[in-house]
Amino acid sequence: MRSDEIKKEPSRAPHRSLLYGTGVPKSSMDRPFIGICSSFTDLIPGHTGMRDLERWIEKGVHTGGGHSFIFSVPGICDGIAMGHKGMHYSLPSRDAITDMIECVVEAHRLDGVVFLTNCDKITPGMLMAAARVDVPSVFVTAGPMLSGNWRMQRRSFVRDTFEAIAKYRSGEIDGEELEHLEMCSCPSQGSCQGLYTANTMACLTEAMGMSLPGCGSALAGQAKKKRIAFDSGVQICNLVKDDIKPKDILTENAFHNAVTVDLALGGSTNTALHLPAIANETGFKLDLNLFDKLSKNTPHITNLRPGGEYFMEDLEYAGGIPAVLKSLKTLLKDNITVTGGNIYESADSAVCFDENIIRNIDNPYHKEGGIAVLRGNIAPDGSVVKQSAVDNEMLNFTGTAKVYDSEEDALSAIMEGDVKDGNIVVIRYEGPKGGPGMREMLAPTAAITGMGLKKVALITDGRFSGGTRGPCIGHISPEAAEGGIIALVQNGDKISINIPEGKINLDVDKSQLEERKKEWVKPAPKIEKGYLAKYSMYVSSAAEGAIFKKS
């Protein structure tokens, strides 16, 4: 065992002494040492229930014959960090989490790890770490939040808070109604109720085979999640015994399956950042071409919020990710999972209890997958849009540019009524380098919806929350801070978007763009000290997953 390096031989007497000082009994020195990497925090509703799950994982580890050690990593709630300086730190925290886990697992020579996670950047950060250290690993995602309820209607975080702000500003609802909505929209522990980034990544973790069947949608705080946590503790000991490691599971087939499930669900566009970053840690290059290729042949089979009307609890009750795998089985590739079996076994054992919530691939909501990749002169390296959340009449749209050099300026303009139907809002200098940190744009996209603007698109070199709906195109690459064409857009320019054909273009003559390029001056960094300054120096483009460059 790896842990023998710190607990065997006379020369390790000091190490054993320190372990005994933690309370480890002598009888556990022959057991595998299992880390429980927990992202518990009181700051995030998706993580407040983790103290309980830690206990159930512990019970499982000791039942399975291991000895467990809890260690922690921090978490950021994207909803709370949204719309101010805090959002600069969200995406960069993913890589910090990966590095911290590497430090602990390698320094303490752990034999295996159960990763207890839930929210947006924590789950991909932990998956990156699991691939990097490559010791036996199982993931427990803490689960989705239950829907809220107000006036006998089910409520969700994004629609009934972010979008409600604009309704309040426009006079559609009053302050008392807004207060009731904010009190009722997040009624419990758990990740936000729709197919936003946290729940998308939980589902894809299961689809890749890194969590036990049913884990991705099992609801927070319920007994089923406790049983999954216990079983995951038992199973990590089996994985250590059988020497099954993350890189045995996170194969090219696993990423094929993850992208397929993502497209079928209509998941968050943030997966176009996270899956390439996870793949990079395995040595496999995953680029936007895979999303583009698979999207053409992968039907969209669910109708979950934000684009649809169902909640994560509906997906769970209809059969969860195993039922999704069952529907998609002919589109999946064989791959082992943390069960020791393969992904087909998860699909074969599933039952779908509602074929409207999880449709058969012959009766989809849309013939193509939920994410589309767009390219053109303004995004030669690519951009992404959640096409399943775009109304049909906006799939092909030409509009007039309204240009803003920050999210705050754009949001103010939208709220003040400066943006009209027929406009395309351009938010730039918000990419991985320019942000820095590639902030999410949920506030302006929700404001567009809440203000009742039906024929407005938004493009950005930043990114979008999984809660975004409408013709919102992110990850424009190259970004403005690197001299991408988005930096040259001027108010009044025409921009054409054709989602079915995968095109996005700035309708300005090439010669005119060349003249603008000569006059462009690279702006000074927005942040010049601390972690973000270091991040902006080494981060790659969104098209590569916003990963740290090796040089």
6 phi, psi to nearest 5 deg: -115, 0
Asked if 465 is an active-site residue, the reply is yes
Q: Decide if 125 contacts 91 (C-beta within 8 A).
A: no
- Structure tokens that stand for 418 in this block: 């400066």
Q: How far apart are CA 438 and CA 248, in angstroms?
A: 32
Q: Decide if 191 contacts 145 (C-beta within 8 A).
A: yes
Domain ranges of the chain: 31-146+188-349, 150-185, 372-544
Q: Buried b / exposed e across 105-118, counting CB within 10 Å, b at 16+? A: beebbbbbbbbbbb
Q: Decide if 372 contacts 385 (C-beta within 8 A).
A: yes
Q: How far apart are CA 138 and CA 127, in angstroms?
A: 10
- The overall longest dimension of the chain from CA atoms, in Å, is 76
Q: Decide if 104 contacts 128 (C-beta within 8 A).
A: no
Strands 472-477 and 457-460, by their bridges, are parallel
Q: How far apart are CA 254 and CA 239, in angstroms?
A: 18
Class of domain 372-544: alpha beta
Q: What is the DSSP string of 155-167?
A: E-HIIIIIHHHHH
Is 30 annotated as belonging to a binding site?
A: no
Q: What single-letter amino acid sits at 454?
A: K
**What fold does the segment set 31-146+188-349 form as a domain?**
Rossmann fold (3.40.50)
CA distances from 452 to 208, 262, 414 (A): 39, 29, 11
Residue with tokens 């700035």: 506
Residue with tokens 């989602």: 499
Is 206 annotated as belonging to a binding site?
A: no
Residue with tokens 């969860």: 320
Q: What single-letter amino acid sits at 286?
A: L
- Segments of the chain scoring below 50 in pLDDT: none
Q: What are the percentages of helix, strand and coil residues in the chain, rounded to 5? A: 45, 15, 40
Nearest one of 247, 209, 266, 299 to 387, comparing CA atoms? 266
**Spatial CB neighbours of 336, under 8 Å, sequence gap ≥ 6:** 209, 244, 248, 249, 342, 343
Q: Decide if 489 contacts 505 (C-beta within 8 A).
A: no
Q: What single-letter amino acid sits at 372?
A: A
Q: What is the pLDDT of residue 465?
A: 81
Q: How far apart are CA 268 and CA 423, in angstroms?
A: 24
Is 120 annotated as belonging to a binding site?
A: yes
| Torsion angle (degrees, nearest 10) of CA 249, 36, 145, 451 | -80
Q: What is the pLDDT of residue 468?
A: 80
**Spatial CB neighbours of 483, under 8 Å, sequence gap ≥ 6:** 517, 520, 522
Strands 503-506 and 494-498, by their bridges, are antiparallel
Q: Which of 93, 465, 540, 541 is catalytic?
A: 465
Q: Cα–chain-centroid distance for residue 434?
A: 21
Q: What is the pLDDT of residue 550?
A: 64
Q: How far apart are CA 404 and CA 399, in angstroms?
A: 15
Nearest one of 487, 477, 485 to 522, comparing CA atoms? 487
Element (H, E) at 257: helix 252-265
Q: What is the pLDDT of residue 551?
A: 54
Q: How far apart are CA 322 and CA 206, in angstroms?
A: 9
Q: Is the dihedral of CA 154, 159, 160, 166 positive or negative?
A: negative
CA distances from 193 to 203, 356, 430, 471 (A): 13, 19, 27, 22
Is 440 annotated as belonging to a binding site?
A: yes
- Other C-beta atoms lying within 10 Å of the C-beta of residue 511: 8
Q: Buried b / exposed e across 298-334, counting CB within 10 Å, b at 16+? A: bbbbbbbbbbbebbbbbbbebbbbbbbbbbbeebbee
